Structure 1
Amino acid sequence: MRALIVDPGAPGRLRLGEAPDPEPGPGQLLVEVRHTSLNAAELWFAQQAAPGEVIGFDAAGVVVAAAADGTGPAVGSRVVGFAEGGGFGALRAMDVADVAVVPEAVDLGEAATLPVAAGTALRALDQAGPLLGRRVLVTGASGGVGGFAVQLARLGGAHVVAVAGSADGRGWVADLGAHETVGAVDRVTDPVDVVVDTVGGDQLSAAYALLAAGGTLQSIGWASGREAVLPVGSTLGARSPKAIVSVYNGGGLTDRQAQLGRLLLLVADGRLRVPVGWRGPWGKIADAVEALAGRSLRGKAILDVD
């Protein structure tokens, strides 16, 4: 099959090539991939993967072989799903439990952006508990995960404070529904109840200091690549202690089908926008990598499989 394969000599170590067709296992269906999405994590995994490997988390397409055990969507169904690798191939085997049927009202390409970025934002906010009337701070808000987090927090009834480094980025997140926009965490003056942090480093430390008693910081990214240092004693002594939580700990990934179903319904109803900053054929992967790695991308990058 055609696939974006790891190549150490290519931009972002990814280029179009050939790879073996996947063979579905028990409880898996085979999907003809029409669209996939580029995430920051895939740029990291491309650096670690072996030449010729097919990476990629997100994929949307059409079922060409149903699961042998009779579960899941039928042949011809439009679906989107997540798996550990394989999303950058023209064919993909996926567990039925990690796949959701895409409503006709939702563009398949836009659906391909949901599993990693919107799914991560949703899990973080779910972990934070009820949002109605609470103040939620989102760092790295002009990125793919951040753009979804801003919208989902507002849908939950939160007052959303979004951090974006550029004036263009702040305008962009304001259009997505942020109530307040700032250029840096240290410009936030009032306490917040929840932080959704995609940056790590100094921003995580500064955001943690803003938490009200009983608040939580949901750590879902480390775009800064820097260590976060907390003041001695800052995690001790509070009657209602603050917490730093990672969405990748515990059982937060066990019901992906239901999470995707919730997100797809919001998109179909027009309540959740898919912020697309780049879209093109997968042969233009170098352009998508440049936009994402150079941090000029607002929202998500969609790769159309042709």
Structure 2
Amino acid sequence: MTDNGPNNILKFLDYLRYERGYSSYTVSAYKRDLNQFMTFLHNYKYQMYSDFAEIDKQAIRHFISSEYERKDNRPGRKNDPIKPRTIAREIATIKSFFKYLVQAEVISYNPASHIKTPKFEKRIPTFIQTGKIDTLMQMPDETRLIGLRDRAILELFYATGIRLSELVGLNIDSVNTNKNTIKVLGKWNKERIVPFGKPARSALDSYLKKRKISWSAPLKSPLFCARGEKRISVRTVQQRIKIYLKDLLGGKEGSNPHTLRHTFGTHLLDNDADIRSIQELMGHSSISTTQIYTKVNPQKMKEIYKKSHPHAS
């Protein structure tokens, strides 16, 4: 494609980042989806498109069909079929992109407007049983800097329920050491304050001490670093968490940082936290997102109902 292709993708990604306030993690996902779509378009019917105005509904449908036939080539997933949820996300990305192109007056007709995005029931989240939390926290090798860092990451994830992108973006000045709270920049650039307890504070102190810096370090220093004081990457955190959770849970299912976020929400609900408070702590824009945790422990919801509703008994 010519200037109308890659340049408009870059403008769209900037729009998501700066006008919609999407996190860098989310923007990267949009970029991957559009790159996959571009790869398909370059080979579709062995012709090159000069601009997006030439893309029709049929081309998008052929892309969707090709995704159902494509095999994943990422390490550890060789020849796995592409997951339906991944394809649904790609469709949603394409629909958002063409809607943007119409709004920006790059094209006059939206070929994706009548393409349907598959609907999925929200899956009940995987979470870690309370009795296994101590086992998890003891897994990192705390004689090494990387182990102390991993312990601090695990403790902070479990203590706060923050998202992966939010954790990676934390700086030294994100932490209020007097109140044991962190200031988190969440989705759509919304700030929230989340408290954490003594175990997370102790793990953070031990990590920074081994790293030979203190809470008085330059305020914009990354809280969690890879080598050479470089900010830790999303990918590195994913890989490190996967090692511990695969061992703890005995397989791939739930071996990602989001499991710790789910565990945070589930354990709060199990201990009678108000669902609106959980929503606030987790940074959910909609209460319906938080309500998925009520499906994890239906017995708990039954107890709350019996205690709270006048006609429950």
Same-fold call, TM > 0.5? no
Q: Which has the higher contact order (CA 8 A, sep 6+)?
A: 1
TM-score by length of 2: 0.30
Q: Which has the larger radius of gyration?
A: 2
